[in-house]
Amino acid sequence: MPDEMKSTATDKVTARIPAVYTNALTGFFEAATSGSLFTIRFFKEIVKPRYEFSEFLKQSYLIGYKSFPLVAITGFIMGLVLTIQSRPTLVQFGAESWLPAMVAISIIREIGPVITALIFAGKVGSGIGAELASMKVTEQIDAMEVSGNNPYKYLVVTRVMAATLMLPVLVTIADAIALYGAYVGVNLQGNVSFHLFFLQVFEKLEFLDVFPALIKTFFFGFSVGIIGCYKGYNATKGTEGVGESANSAVVFASLAVFIIDMVAVQITSLFI
């Protein structure tokens, strides 16, 4: 077919696709490319000196320690509610004695990491997104750049590292508090000693319950950190952009948590 005819045929096909779809598709691929490059840059920058150790410690304090009360309260309620809700069903089957083990496995494997990661995405993801977006629209990031410093390393690497390392710690603490909540839940309608409750919990817990659940929290933390930073670092449209960055950071980080969890479950199921 001659070139002219080919071109006309392509134009006809293109004309049939509404611009809204082509724009959305272009936007999706642009965002995916830009997000990937942003993430690749993280792995390049993390190995290069200078290492922003003091800023990393500060961020670990802000991201980890400051999230502790929220995570602790959520963990306690999570364990308590799960126990209270599960008891009637187990009683129906005469399996009440399984309650501590069942609740523990649910919390350690799935509910603890996912709920804590979602809380973390809401608090930390939005915080990072809003902070960096605000710095971006007030030209503070540009100011760092023109002074010959590397804002990516100072702002992004430290926050992503802190989020990656702090979330597993928070999940571990949340799991422990949730188990205590479960113990309280069991004792609301029964009488089980602290020693017996945790003996039953640890008897049934296996390495494959704890280890994969812990590993995936590093990925949860990384995704919350990198998405928050990406959304903030690339903010536009002034103060409106700050709110938009914070909001989309939470939405995409929460989505990422579920997607990572789904993949992690598939991988873990290969070994169980």
Partner 1 sequence: MDTNVITIEHLKKSFGKNQVLKDINLNIVKGENLVVCGKSGSGKSVLIKCLVGLIEPDGGKVVLLGKDIDGLDSTALNELRKKVGFLFQSAALYDSMNVRENLSFPLRDLKSKSPEDIEALVVEALANVGLEDVAEKMPSELSGGQRKRIGLARTLILKPEIILYDEPTTGLDPITSKEISQLILDIQKKYNTTSIIITHDVECMRITSNRMIIIKDGVSVAEGTFDELSASDDEWVRSFFQ
- Judged by the rule CB under 8 A, the positions of this chain that interact with partner 1 are 50, 134-135, 138-140, 142-150
Judged by beta carbon, residue 143 or residue 188, the one nearer partner 1 is 143
The answer for residues whose C-beta is within 8 angstroms of residue 45's C-beta and 6 or more apart is 150, 152, 153, 156, 157
Closer CB to partner 1, 9 or 143, in the complex? 143
Alpha helices in the chain (DSSP H): 3-16, 19-47, 53-63, 68-92, 99-106, 112-120, 126-137, 140-146, 151, 158-188, 194-204, 207-233, 238-269
User: Could you tell me if 67 and 170 are in contact, meaning their C-beta atoms sit under 8 angstroms apart?
Assistant: yes
Distances 59 to 1, 156, 217, 250, 270 between C-alpha atoms, Å: 62, 11, 18, 18, 36
Nearest distance from residue 143's CB to partner 1, in Å? Answer: 4
Integer angstrom CA distances of residue 33 from 30, 91, 261: 5, 53, 23
CB of 241 to partner 1, least distance (A): 15
- Is 33 or 189 the residue whose CB approaches partner 1 more closely? 33
Question: Minimum distance from CB of 149 to partner 1 (Å)?
Answer: 7
Nearest to partner 1 of 139, 206 (CB atom): 139
We find the least distance from the C-beta atom of residue 174 to partner 1, in angstroms, to be: 28
Minimum CB distance to partner 1 smaller for 24 or for 143: 143
Give the nearest distance from C-beta 171 to partner 1 in angstroms: 27
**Cα gap 163→158, rounded to integer Å:** 9
Here the tokens at position 149 are 């410093």
Q: Which residue, 101 or 144, is less far from partner 1 as judged by CB?
A: 144
Residue 92 vs 147, nearer CB to partner 1: 147
| Closest CB 250 distance from partner 1, rounded Å | 21
Between 12 and 50, name the residue whose CB sits nearer to partner 1: 50
CA distance 58 to 166: 12
Minimum gap (Å) between residue 144 Cβ and partner 1:
7
- Cα(130)–Cα(235) distance, integer angstroms: 9
Q: How far is CA 148 from CA 2, 4, 53, 144, in A?
A: 55, 52, 19, 7
Is the CB of residue 139 less than 8 Å from the CB of residue 236?
no
| Smallest distance from partner 1 to CB 126, Å | 17
Residue 40 structure tokens: 């690749």
